[in-house]
A and B are shown apart, each in its own frame.
Chain A
C-alpha cells in the first residue's frame, strides 16, 4: 500500500513538472530545455522564502509567481524573436538558458546542498490500510490532482483556454481578428514555467535541493512527455502516474534497475508508438 502511495505521489510530482513542459510544447511548439532549471529555481526560492518567513504556503506562492515571471521574461527576450525560425533554434537557445539560470542560482545560493523543512501541518504520518503513510505524500497526490483538474478547466473550458487553443492552431488568423497573440504566448510560457516553479516548491521538502536538479529533472520530464505524447496533457497525466508507480515498485524490489527499466519502457514506446502511448487522433491538448 505504501508503495502505491509513494508511486502516486512521485507520479503527481512528475505530472506537475511535465505538465508545464507539455503545455508549452502543445501551445507554442517550443521544447523548453530549461524547464528543469526553472523547477530547480522554484525549489530554491521556496526554500529561501520558507526559511525567512517560516511559511510553506508563502514559499509555494512565491516560487510559482517568481518563476512564472522569469518564464515571461525568457519568452519575451529570448524566444519571441525565434518563432519564425526552425524549431531546433528554440531548443538550443533554452539550453543556453539552463547555463544562465544555474549560474544565477550558484551566485545566490552557492554550490552546496540545501535542506528544506517539511511544513509542520503536513509532517506527520497516518495509518492507512495497515501501513504508515507520510501525510506529505497524500498532500502531494491531492494537490497534484487539484492542479491537473484546474489545468483542464483552464485550457478546455475557459475563455483564456479557448484563446490559447485558437492561437496555437492558427496564430496569424487570431492576430488578424485583433487578439493579442504575443501576450497569449507569453502568458502560456509563464503559466508553464510557473507550474515548474510550483513543482519545485512541492518537491523541496522531499529531496535535497541542488544544482544537478536542472539537468537531471529535465530528462524525467522528457520521459513523461514522450510517453504521454508531446503536447498531450491527458497523456502526461497517465504517463506520469505510470512512471511514478513503476519507479516506486522498482525502488521497492530492484532499486538498481529502476532507471534502466524506465529507459527501456521509453525506448519500447518510441519503437512501437512514437506518437506516445496515449495518442488520440483528435486535437492534442
Chain B
C-alpha cells in the first residue's frame, strides 16, 4: 500500500481549500474558525507523535499547550521581547516541560503513563491557578496577548493572521511528514509495534521515547503560543486536563498515527461543534456520544478507515491490471 500517495491525495484538496479560502470573501468568523482549526491541528499533530506514533496515551499535553501560551504572553508583555522570540520561547517551554515530565512519566508505561502525565499536568494547572498568580494572573488569565509583528503587516487583521498560521502550519506539516519517514520515525514506529524487539536490536528505546516526547512538547508549545495569539488571551483552562481530553478525542476521531488524521479530526470536531451548537446548547454531550460511537465502531478514525479502503482499492486495481496484461 502506498501511503504517501494516499497522504498526497488527501492533503492536496485540504491544502487547496486552505489556500483558496481567503479569496472567497469569507466572514471574519469563518476565517478565525479556520485559523483555530489549523492551530489545534498543530497541537493534535504534536500530540499524535506520542499517541499515534509511539502508542502512549498522554493526559499531560495541556501543560505543553498552556505553557506555550504563557511563554508568549510573558515574553512579549513582561520582558518586551518581539513576537518571534516569544514564539521561540514557547517552543522551548513546551520542549523543556516535556523533558521534565519525561523523567517521571517514562518510568512507567501503559495506563500508568496516562495517570502520571495527568497528575503532573494537574500540578502545573494548580500552580498556575494559585501559587504563580503573580505571573499567570491566576484564574483571570492574561489578556492582550500579542499578534506577530513582521514587516509592518497588521496581523490583528484576521486575513493576515490567517496567512501567518497557514505558513506555520505548512512548515509543521512538512517537518512532520519528513520526520515520520526519516530513520528516526521508522525506529519510533518499530518501538510501538514491538518494544522488546527494538530494544534487542540495540536501540536505546528510553532515549527515543524521551526525544519523541520532547518533540511532541515543542510542537504543542508552538500551538499554544499561536492559540494565545489568536484569542489574544491565555488562562489556566488551557492547562486543565480536560484540554488533554479534547485533543485525544480529536486525534482519535481523525485517526491516530496517520499523517492527516489529527488534522481531519480537529476539522471534524470543530465543524461538528459549530453545527451541533447552532442546533442545541447541549452540543458537548452530543459530541461525547459521537465520540463514544466512533471509538466503538471506527477505532481507526476517519483517515484510518479511508486509508484502509484506499489500500484495498489499490490492491484490487493492481490485481486487475496484473490479469489484463
Interface residues of A (CB under 8 A from B): 31, 78, 81-82, 85, 87-89, 91-93, 95-100, 102-104, 106-107, 215, 219, 222-223, 226, 230, 256, 259-260, 263-264, 266-267, 270-271, 274
A-B residue pairs in contact (CB < 8 Å), sample of 17:
A78-B296, A81-B296, A89-B295, A92-B248, A92-B295, A96-B289, A99-B284, A100-B285, A102-B285, A103-B284, A215-B242, A222-B118, A259-B126, A260-B127, A263-B122, A270-B119, A274-B107
Partner of A222, one of B104, B119, B245, B291: B119
List A contacts of B309 (CB < 8 A): none
0 or 1 for each of B85-124: is its CB under 8 Å from A? (1 = yes): 0000000000000000000100110111011101110110
Does B282 reach chain A (CB closer than 8 Å)?
yes
CB B129 to nearest CB in A, in angstroms, measures 9
List A contacts of B111 (CB < 8 A): 31, 87-88, 91, 230
Among residues of A, the one whose C-beta sits closest to the C-beta of B284 is A99
* Total residues of chain B contacting the partner, CB 8 A: 38
List B contacts of A103 (CB < 8 A): 282, 284-286, 288
Contact between A78 and B292, CB atoms less than 8 A apart: yes
CB A28 to nearest CB in B, in angstroms, measures 12
Complex Cα gap A209–B110 (Å): 33
Contact between B115 and A100, CB atoms less than 8 A apart: no
Contact between B288 and A88, CB atoms less than 8 A apart: no
List A contacts of B291 (CB < 8 A): 96, 99
Task: Take A96-B295, A259-B126, A271-B107 as given contacts and tell me if A106 and B119 are in contact as well, using a CB distance cutoff of 8 Å.
Answer: no
List B contacts of A271 (CB < 8 A): 104, 107
Task: Take A95-B248, A95-B249, A96-B288 as given contacts and tell me if A219 and B118 are in contact as well, using a CB distance cutoff of 8 Å.
Answer: yes
Contact between A95 and B114, CB atoms less than 8 A apart: no
Task: Take A92-B295, A266-B119 as given contacts and tell me if A102 and B107 are in contact as well, using a CB distance cutoff of 8 Å.
Answer: no
- Which of A31, A93, A103 is packed against the most chain B CB atoms within 10 Å? A103
Contact between A256 and B131, CB atoms less than 8 A apart: yes
List B contacts of A215 (CB < 8 A): 240-242
CB A146 to nearest CB in B, in angstroms, measures 29
Contact between B292 and A100, CB atoms less than 8 A apart: yes
SS class of chain B's interface: helix, strand, loop or mixed? helix
0 or 1 for each of B247-265: is its CB under 8 Å from A? (1 = yes): 0110010000000000000
* A-B contact sample (19 more), CB < 8 A, given A266-B119, A267-B120: A31-B115, A78-B292, A87-B110, A91-B57, A92-B57, A92-B248, A92-B249, A96-B288, A100-B289, A106-B285, A219-B119, A222-B115, A226-B115, A259-B126, A259-B130, A260-B126, A263-B123, A270-B112, A271-B104
Contact between B126 and A99, CB atoms less than 8 A apart: no
Contact between A270 and B116, CB atoms less than 8 A apart: yes
Contact between B296 and A82, CB atoms less than 8 A apart: yes
Contact between A260 and B282, CB atoms less than 8 A apart: no
Contact between A85 and B299, CB atoms less than 8 A apart: yes
Contact between A88 and B112, CB atoms less than 8 A apart: no
0 or 1 for each of B227-255: is its CB under 8 Å from A? (1 = yes): 00000000000001110010011001000
List A contacts of B127 (CB < 8 A): 260
Contact between B119 and A96, CB atoms less than 8 A apart: no
Contact between B284 and A219, CB atoms less than 8 A apart: no
Complex Cα gap A44–B187 (Å): 50
Complex Cα gap A270–B104 (Å): 7
Inter-chain residue pair count (beta carbon < 8 A): 110
Complex Cα gap A88–B286 (Å): 22
Does B166 reach chain A (CB closer than 8 Å)?
no
Does B10 reach chain A (CB closer than 8 Å)?
no
Does B287 reach chain A (CB closer than 8 Å)?
yes
CB B315 to nearest CB in A, in angstroms, measures 25
List B contacts of A87 (CB < 8 A): 110-111
Complex Cα gap A88–B287 (Å): 19
Complex Cα gap A103–B252 (Å): 21
- Which of A88, A106, A107, A226 is packed against the most chain B CB atoms within 10 Å? A88
0 or 1 for each of B286-322: is its CB under 8 Å from A? (1 = yes): 1111011001100100000000000000000000000
Complex Cα gap A28–B57 (Å): 19
List B contacts of A99 (CB < 8 A): 284-285, 287-289, 291
Among residues of B, the one whose C-beta sits closest to the C-beta of A264 is B123
List A contacts of B252 (CB < 8 A): 92
Would you list the 9 A-B pairs with minimal beta carbon distance, nearest first? A103-B285, A99-B288, A263-B123, A96-B292, A96-B291, A88-B57, A100-B288, A96-B288, A259-B126
Contact between A96 and B249, CB atoms less than 8 A apart: yes
Among residues of A, the one whose C-beta sits closest to the C-beta of B108 is A274
List B contacts of A88 (CB < 8 A): 57, 110-111, 114
Among residues of B, the one whose C-beta sits closest to the C-beta of A219 is B122
Contact between B292 and A97, CB atoms less than 8 A apart: yes
- Which of A78, A93, A97 is packed against the most chain B CB atoms within 10 Å? A93
Partner of A104, one of B116, B285, B299: B285
Contact between A31 and B114, CB atoms less than 8 A apart: yes
List B contacts of A267 (CB < 8 A): 104, 119-120, 123
List B contacts of A92 (CB < 8 A): 57, 248-249, 252, 295
List A contacts of B296 (CB < 8 A): 78, 81-82, 93
CB B148 to nearest CB in A, in angstroms, measures 34
CB A216 to nearest CB in B, in angstroms, measures 10
CB B208 to nearest CB in A, in angstroms, measures 20
Among residues of B, the one whose C-beta sits closest to the C-beta of A222 is B115
Complex Cα gap A264–B240 (Å): 18
